[in-house]
Chain A
């Protein structure tokens, strides 16, 4: 299988190791954002997509998620 973002090999799932890691971080950090701002999943993704501190791989995963291309394991607020 190959990563839907960079076409590199992926062990399982749709992302390679790097993008998988970014996806995990996105899911984990949502909890903090929700507690801080009572924000929905979509709003959260838009916020981090436009934040200059967001990592390059994270931004790529966010773009993919915003296009409806994938799901992260989170509960929407």
Chain B
């Protein structure tokens, strides 16, 4: 085997798809070297070898060895197995690529066409293939379908996208400089104080993301609810009762509210006005990654990272297009009609696709966002060859139905507001209905609209007021972030990329800076943020992150040089790190206190139901070493509450209260499935107590 074309794919599944698509008989030979599989295909009489990468095969490492010094500003690109002990498979993979490259006469980069894919392909061509980066062609595709892959190979770009590569390399280098220096500063300070090694980290995106969470948490924890009053009247018309609201939504004085409510008691109402508003709601935009992640979270409670992983798998199965996209546009070149025809082969889509295909023109309702590399996410038209795993099926169905909906008609809706005057006070009640379903029919069951039909009413009609209700309400704090709302704010602030945002969130969980699905900042999270805010405030600034993103955009357009941006970054980091070093002792003490508090927090189960002031926590007997539940007020001599716990397995807070007695519960994990235990001996759920 000599003089072949070496095609580099980003993942093994993609390599297989590319080889299948390019081989004239669709039966490429699967070979292997050093345990690394690769494919040999025949295409137009030319031999093609398709070899996979495993994502990034190269990474950045410090020139100088050791983990306890900073600042670190000199670095180099190295194979991942050099920098990461666990990346052992990378060595044999790179050896195979190098061997195959020696006998190749042409090179094609077929990694994903985005920043990361460009860096992956560039590094392999430069370091593993022996400086072939300027001799390689570039395949550009958004789906792994045969048709598109054949086209992408036949019309491969003559060279790599060096602007995108420069921007990608800069992003990696900047993130590395921020991450390594700041994380080391935190870790070294902690270690110097306590002598213990604890990994603490922050980074260019992680810091500003933590800032969002801390700001929200501060508002919630220092919140003071303020009262206001709402008045409602139960109005009877045509034998049905509707709840009418007083036109002033919030009354901020109790006396005023009581006066109005009392004056409406036992009075008749008269319909004063009927306002009808008809409007059209256009179809939704096609999915970009962010909206797909938000939608999957609200519909299926899938965390953004899970949605991305599922979408990536569907892409590798050639069922949907490339998911890491910001685009909300669907170019006509993707051939809408063929996709619809193919989707119609599935029974559940047959009727809907047939209707769409009857339209004279197919025009999607596109959004404003564009992505130079990929269109919005769309189904390829391929149907799953075997039953999809349920969560994958949900994402695929969601993408398909969204695709169908964007070609449909607007929905027509009607809102009706009836104003009633009761003893001189104005109230209103509303109804709503659908006049034409339009796109909503195509997007079912993912769109819901509760109709509330009102009986025929006319101006001047007298209605009975059955009851007047005065309700005291309190202004609520803002909700805690969830993965979806945080992702949205990160997107709006332009921090991170579509590919990294979900991972950043996970890192915050892994470092124990946040916890729970409703993201709560831990003591450790607060202290790390406090340290960063005091000693390197620029690093957590969203402005800086945004400026750097803009600079990377300019590198991509060849308007700015990578070296200049890196020099700027070092100029920002250096003084902060020097100042940080001078305060190492203070920082170390602060972080160690936080770590201790954090450990205690993890042992807390909930508020003590006996003294109602202390917190129940998992404690260990000094005498026997056995664990039990105790109250923090014990140390103040205020509460002696304690309960036994199982001594086998692990025990932690379940985060739930017992449905029978309302006490906090613990989750016990042994070899079998975890189970929730209520440790209250008086709990009515316990058999003995039930009998008594």
List the interface of chain A (C-beta within 8 A of B): 18, 21-22, 25-26, 28-29, 32-33, 35-37, 48, 51, 53-58
Contacts and interface: CB of A to CB of B under 8 A. Distances in A.
A18 B253 contact: no
Nearest to A26: B224
A53 B221 CA distance: 10
Interface in B370-395: none
Given A37-B254, A55-B477, A48 B222 contact: no
Nearest to A30: B224
Given A18-B222, A55-B223, 17 more contacts: A18-B526, A22-B224, A25-B224, A28-B224, A32-B226, A33-B226, A36-B226, A36-B228, A36-B252, A36-B253, A51-B225, A53-B474, A53-B475, A55-B221, A55-B224, A55-B477, A58-B223
B476 interface: yes
B225 A54 contact: yes
Contacts of A21: 218, 222
A51 B221 CA distance: 13
B220 interface: yes
A53 B225 contact: yes
A56 to B, nearest CB: 5
Interface string B462-485: 000000000000111100000000
A58 B224 CA distance: 7
A22 to B, nearest CB: 4
B227 interface: yes
Nearest to B476: A53
A25 B222 contact: yes
* Best-surrounded residue of B220, B223, B224 (most CB of chain A within 10 A): B224
A18 B228 CA distance: 27
Contacts of B220: 55
A26 B224 CA distance: 6
A32 to B, nearest CB: 5
Contacts of B223: 25, 53-55, 58
Contact of B221 (A18, A29, A37, A48): A18
Contact of A53 (B254, B477, B526): B477
Contacts of B228: 36
Interface in B468-524: 474-477
Given A21-B218, A58-B221, A58-B222, A37 B477 contact: no
A51 B273 CA distance: 39
B252 A32 contact: yes
A18 B218 contact: yes
A33 B224 CA distance: 10
Nearest to B475: A53
Contacts of B225: 48, 51, 53-54
B484 to A, nearest CB: 23
A56 B477 CA distance: 12
Nearest to A63: B613
12 contacts: A18-B222, A21-B218, A22-B221, A22-B224, A29-B224, A33-B227, A35-B253, A36-B253, A36-B254, A48-B224, A53-B475, A56-B221
